[in-house]
Structure formats: structure tokens, C-alpha cells
Amino acid sequence: MRSRIARGWLLLAAVVLAACVGTPAPKEQYFTLSSPNPGVAPPASDSPSIYVGPVTVPEAVDRPSMVLRTSPNQVDVSDDYRWAEPLRNAIPRMIGDVLSRELGTSRVLTNRSASATAVDIRVSIEIQRFDSSLTDGATIDAVWSVKDVANGKMRNGRSVVHEALASSGPAGIAAAASRALERVGHEIAQAARQSR
């Protein structure tokens, strides 16, 4: 009787172990922020040089995993949906792409190591809110400043932008966040034109 029970437990353990080993872990998916309206930047002659930085991102979302808001006071940190690059790098690159296109320049720097480089325009951005939701889309709240180095003029602004999902899932969130950042970049470009 004892040997039957022991064999039964061994068989059960073997089945459980096989199920654990035989089931592959879900594959991580990686997403990027990209300009919905890419354009070709003109030659660098007579166009302003721009540095986008510093750009700060809330610590709650500054991680490889997508942080998905599930309620006003709750988020889910996804192990399956991840950003391909840190948001603190992706956001200035994205804003830089918009400024390049809208201000007609190919001389846009976003790398932190270029912060001491002499430029015509400096843009700093504090992302106060970067919300992603599988039901509501993306919301970005950004406080920013644009400084024309030559004349010392500074323009400050705030952009609060919401973009609904055009498609479901994490790819839809990445696209909505990209569209929201495109709108933020457009508002910053307008301020940069006015400061010159």
C-alpha cells in the first residue's frame, strides 16, 4: 500500500515537473517610440543647432518594463512588454526628430555627452507624467523650456497631451505615446520659432 502511494506521488511529481519544463516562458516583446511623421532633415547650412536635454522622467516609469496604469492608484509593471531603450534616451531622441523636421535642421543633439556643446537653442524637458493604459492609451504631461542662446530669450511651457489607442495591445500604447510626444515636440518647436 505504501509503495502504491509513493509511486502515485512520484508520478504526480513527474507530471508537474514535465508541465513546468515543457511550458515555455512567454517571450518578451520590445517596443520603441518613433515619429509617426518622419521627415527628411535639410542640410545643416544656416539652420539652428539644437540640444535637447536634460530630459527627466518619473522614476516610476523609468525602467525597461512597460508600466501600465490599471486604475487611478494602481499600475502593473509588465515583464512581457518592454521598452527597447530607456525612456530617458527615447524621449529626447523622439523630440529631437520632431524639432529637426519642424525647424528645418539636421543639427540636433540629444546625447547627454553633448550637453556642453555650443548650440543655438537649448531645450529642457521634465516629464511629470507618462501614463500608459491598455484601455485609455497614453497621457504625457511635460513641462519644458526653450532658450535661444544668442539673444538669451527663454520661453517656458507645459504640454498635457492624451492619445487614445488606435490599435490594441502594447504596440498600440507605443504608437499612442509616440503620437503624444509628437504633439509635445510640435508645441516646443512653435516656442523655439517665437524665441528667435
Q: Is the pLDDT of residue 15 over 70?
A: no
Let me know if 124 is exposed, middle or buried by CB neighbors in 10 A (0-12, 13-18, 19+): middle
Dihedrals phi, psi of 181, to nearest 5 degrees: -65, -35
Looking up cell 501600465 gives: 68
Q: Is the pLDDT of residue 20 over 90?
A: no
**Are the CB atoms for 77 and 63 separated by under 8 Å?**
yes
Give CA–CA dist 162/176, Å, rounded: 8
The answer for residues whose C-beta is within 8 angstroms of residue 90's C-beta and 6 or more apart is 32, 33, 83
pLDDT digits (tens, 9 = 90+) for 105-155: 999 999 888 888 899 999 999 999 999 999 999 999 999 999 999 899 999
pTM metric for this prediction? 0.83
**pLDDT at residue 167, as a whole number:** 92
Give CA–CA dist 93/33, Å, rounded: 9
**Are the CB atoms for 82 and 64 separated by under 8 Å?**
yes
**pLDDT at residue 45, as a whole number:** 59
**pLDDT at residue 89, as a whole number:** 95
CATH number at residue 88: 3.40.50.10610
Tally of domains within the chain: 1
Domain of residue 62 covers 2-195
Q: Tell me the one-letter amino acid at 184.
A: V
**pLDDT at residue 59, as a whole number:** 94
Calculate what percentage of the chain has a pLDDT beyond 70. Answer: 83
**pLDDT at residue 115, as a whole number:** 83
Let me know if 29 is exposed, middle or buried by CB neighbors in 10 A (0-12, 13-18, 19+): middle
**pLDDT at residue 44, as a whole number:** 55
Give CA–CA dist 142/189, Å, rounded: 14
**pLDDT at residue 171, as a whole number:** 96
Q: Is the pLDDT of residue 17 over 60?
A: no
**47 confidence band (pLDDT: 50, 70, 90):** confident
Q: Using DSSP, how many helices (H) and how many strands (E) does the chain show?
A: 3, 8
